[in-house]
Amino acid sequence: MARHLIQGREIAMPVRIRDATVCSASYLVRADAARAVIAYSGLDVAEVLPGKALCTLVFVDYADGDLDAYREFGVAFLVRPPGTGPPPRGLRTGLSELRRAGAGAFIHWLPVDQGFTMEAGRTIWGFPKELADIDLRLSSPYKRCILRKDGRLVLDLLVKPGAPVPGGGTMAPVDAYSHLDGVTRRIPWSMSPRGVRMRPGGALIRLGNHPVAKELSELGLPKHALMTSTVSHLTMTFGEAKEL
């Protein structure tokens, strides 16, 4: 079993998250603009509609896991599997078909509010974790994240929970992708959600004056969300990263 030494602590693989609360908002953005944003990774966005890519903003409260309790915000893009040929032109490809074809989530930015998980995430998987001020308000009916970095507002995101989704249970494993210090990695990622709610739309976003906010504005935000989701209890495992 692989192990990593982080700040004097041994972390065994796979890393397990035993309980987390997750809220997300997904947006259709221009594929060419998204490609420009993640060009440094060597990966290509998946076109869920001709000329459109999927950008997801997510905030997470990790209550119990191998990396302790912390809060996190993420900017992710649905990407095509590395090594595949050019995408077909003018064809609509559903999300389920993209996932079956191996599409995964590229983690473009991943601020957290605790130093241990920041070092672990960067060292073990190459996740682009950095410290930020993450104010989560999850006890009210509307779920809210106010994110500040270096004293500047990045965004204020409000998610309105939708209708309960029956079932839940274990989802099909997906790959996460990261890029740090010139290296792109693939990370096996499995999830088991309970208390899932989804709806079309359902997000309000206000951008601040941080450079990441400017980048999101160049993708066309703020705009109407394609869909939002909330998960009241999520367990996850993250496997060993593989360099591409």
Q: Which sign, positive or negative, has the C-alpha torsion 174, 179, 185, 189?
A: negative
- The C-alpha angle with vertex 241 and arms to 135 and 127, in degrees rounded to 5, equals 25
Q: Which amino acid is at 213?
A: A
The pTM of this model reads: 0.93
Q: Which of the residues in the chain have pLDDT under 50?
A: 89-93
Predicted confidence at residue 92, as pLDDT, reads: 47
Instruction: Please state, in angstroms and rounded to a whole number, the distance separating the CA atoms of residues 126 and 183.
Output: 8
Predicted confidence at residue 81, as pLDDT, reads: 86
Bridge-based pairing of strands 183-200 and 174-180 is antiparallel
Predicted confidence at residue 82, as pLDDT, reads: 82
Predicted confidence at residue 97, as pLDDT, reads: 54
Predicted confidence at residue 91, as pLDDT, reads: 42
Predicted confidence at residue 149, as pLDDT, reads: 98
The gap from C-alpha 70 to its chain's centroid, in whole angstroms, comes to 15
Cβ-Cβ contacts under 8 Å for 213 (sequence gap 6 or more): 153, 154, 155, 207
